[in-house]
């Protein structure tokens, strides 16, 4: 059966180096790439190549004025064609710069094909600059659709955190702080170095078996587990860390935020760290689980449904086991899984100052003692952010 590995990332040079390494290390591999740069002209250009060069090229029209939609419509048939041909061992799907691997992995799997790996290629020297870049993708010519409102920072963060494998270039510009930041942002990822050596050194299946990147590409990938690891209710968030000038603060509290005080502090909290994420609890919406996702000085807040504590017992059977397990870890005898669980990662993080600021946004003892009926009467400061 055809194996499919997805290789993505905004660091184009690193991505191309990872793809070329795989192409050389795995005999019988081909690379599929959809270039979305031509989307403004109404088409997406698809190329297929192997180690000897270009095998085919073609154009596919936009679907609903969306380049990513065109990619989805065209990718699975091309992969099926390769699978039916029977001569390809590994299909390397090289994503265009701003395309996120989660969507493509789910599309390929839904198409009945086997994703055996998802890799994000990274230049460690560029992690902090990209994570701090609040520019819209459209401003950089990287938007995948006219309606694409993503930023460079939040797109890069999702690309980085979704992949279980990071192909890391041997960058002369990177220092220990850069490498530590990468590690703390995604501590469970397997980092595979891709150096400047001759990728043509692996010419047979034995060499392929020795290649760390090739093994990672063929190791297997669980789409459902990967989605669960990113879901705000049960996300696998980084742990406390402090090394080489980079810190990760895990802030966990059982008391809800006062909506107005938190709203007034949002800018300071968001700008306190290069990356922050997690789930949080507002007093005026005590039953709603809220997602916190910040990078590049910009914050996205969204409702992701109810806390489990607010659901009737009969509804628990419809909740995935991983969600129930995550809730059990945070369970409070009075509030259930309602909590604050936010994680902040950054060089030069002012941990003490950030903790004081966060604590000041919680309900006071008197406000807390007033109970839920009183909490719900607090001013709904987040209505605009949550588009109520």
Q: Are the C-beta atoms of 125 and 171 separated by less than 8 Å?
A: yes
Q: For strand 29-35 and strand 114-122, is the pairing parallel, antiparallel, or unpaired?
A: unpaired
Q: Quick one: which H or E segment has residue 324?
A: helix 321-329
Structural class in CATH, domain 3-230: alpha beta
Give Cβ neighbours of residue 40 (< 8 Å, ≥ 6 apart). none
For residue 85, what are the CA distances in angstroms to 22, 29, 47, 78, 79?
Answer: 20, 13, 17, 11, 10
CA gap 115, 223 in Å, rounded:
8
User: What residues form DSSP beta bridges with 165?
Assistant: 119, 190
Q: Are the C-beta atoms of 127 and 108 separated by less than 8 Å?
A: no
Q: pLDDT at position 354, please?
A: 98
Q: Quick one: which H or E segment has residue 299?
A: strand 298-306
Tokens found for residue 40: 């403004």
CA gap 164, 182 in Å, rounded:
13
Q: Are the C-beta atoms of 90 and 119 separated by less than 8 Å?
A: no
- The label of the residue with tokens 């994680």 reads 343
Give Cβ neighbours of residue 175 (< 8 Å, ≥ 6 apart). 125
> Which sequence spans correspond to the domains of the chain?
3-230, 241-375
Which of the following CATH numbers is that of domain 241-375: 3.30.1220.10, 3.40.50.10420, 3.40.640.10, 3.60.20.10? Answer: 3.30.1220.10
Report the length, in residues, of the chain: 388
Helix, strand, or coil (residue 240): coil
Q: For strand 190-194 and strand 165-169, is the pairing parallel, antiparallel, or unpaired?
A: parallel
Tokens found for residue 23: 């192409």
Q: Are the C-beta atoms of 239 and 250 separated by less than 8 Å?
A: yes
Q: For strand 90-94 and strand 29-35, is the pairing parallel, antiparallel, or unpaired?
A: parallel
Tokens found for residue 168: 């890391």
Spacing of C-alpha 58 from chain mean position: 30
Q: Give which of 347, 328, 267, 338 is closest to 306, Cα–Cα.
A: 338
- Is 0.85 topped by the overall pTM? yes
Angle at 22 between CA 238 and CA 112, to 5 degrees: 75
Q: Quick one: which H or E segment has residue 7?
A: strand 3-8
Q: What is the pLDDT along the chain (388 residues), one digit of tens a residue?
A: 899 999 999 999 999 999 999 999 999 999 999 998 887 778 889 999 999 999 999 888 877 777 778 888 889 999 999 999 889 999 999 999 999 999 999 999 999 999 999 999 999 999 999 999 999 998 998 988 778 889 999 999 999 999 999 999 999 999 999 999 999 999 999 999 997 644 444 445 555 556 899 999 999 999 999 988 888 888 888 999 999 999 999 999 999 999 999 999 999 999 999 999 999 999 999 999 999 999 999 999 999 999 999 998 888 888 888 888 888 887 899 999 999 999 999 999 999 999 999 999 999 999 999 999 999 999 999 998 887 4
Q: pLDDT at position 42, please?
A: 80
């Amino acid at each position: 059966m055809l194996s499919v590995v997805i290789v993505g990332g905004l660091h184009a040079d690193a991505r191309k180096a990872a793809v070329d390494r795989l192409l050389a290390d795995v005999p019988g591999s081909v690379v599929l790439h959809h270039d979305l740069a031509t989307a403004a002209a109404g088409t997406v250009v698809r190329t297929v190549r192997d180690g000897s060069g270009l095998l085919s090229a073609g154009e596919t029209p936009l679907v609903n004025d969306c380049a990513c939609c065109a990619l989805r419509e065209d990718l699975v048939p091309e992969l099926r064609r390769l699978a039916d041909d029977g001569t390809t061992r590994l299909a390397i799907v090289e994503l265009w710069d701003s395309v996120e691997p989660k969507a493509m992995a789910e599309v390929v799997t839904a198409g009945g094909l086997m994703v055996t790996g998802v890799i994000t290629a990274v230049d460690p020297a560029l992690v902090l600059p990209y994570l701090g870049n609040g520019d819209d993708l459209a401003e950089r010519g990287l938007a995948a659709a006219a309606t694409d409102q993503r930023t460079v920072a939040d797109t890069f963060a999702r690309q980085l955190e979704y992949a279980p494998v990071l192909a890391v270039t041997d960058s002369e510009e990177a220092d220990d702080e850069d490498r530590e930041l990468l590690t703390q942002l995604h501590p469970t990822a397997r980092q595979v170095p891709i150096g400047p050596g001759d990728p043509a050194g692996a010419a047979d299946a034995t060499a392929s078996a020795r290649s760390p990147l090739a093994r990672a590409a063929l190791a297997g990938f669980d789409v459902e587990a990967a989605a669960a690891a990113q879901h705000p209710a049960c996300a696998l968030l980084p742990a406390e860390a402090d090394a080489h000038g980079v810190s990760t603060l895990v802030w966990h509290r059982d008391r809800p935020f006062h909506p107005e005080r938190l709203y007034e502090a949002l800018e300071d909290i968001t700008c306190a760290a290069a990356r922050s994420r997690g789930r949080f609890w507002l007093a005026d919406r005590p039953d709603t689980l809220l997602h916190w996702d910040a990078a590049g000085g910009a914050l996205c807040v969204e409702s992701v449904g109810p806390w489990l504590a607010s659901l009737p017992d009969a509804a628990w059977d419809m909740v995935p086991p991983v969600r129930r397990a995550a809730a059990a870890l945070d369970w409070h005898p009075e509030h259930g899984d309602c909590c604050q669980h936010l994680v902040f990662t950054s060089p030069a993080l002012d941990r003490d100052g950030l903790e004081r600021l966060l604590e000041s946004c919680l309900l006071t003892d008197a406000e807390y003692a007033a109970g839920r009926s009183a909490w719900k009467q607090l001013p709904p400061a987040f209505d605009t952010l949550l588009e109520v």
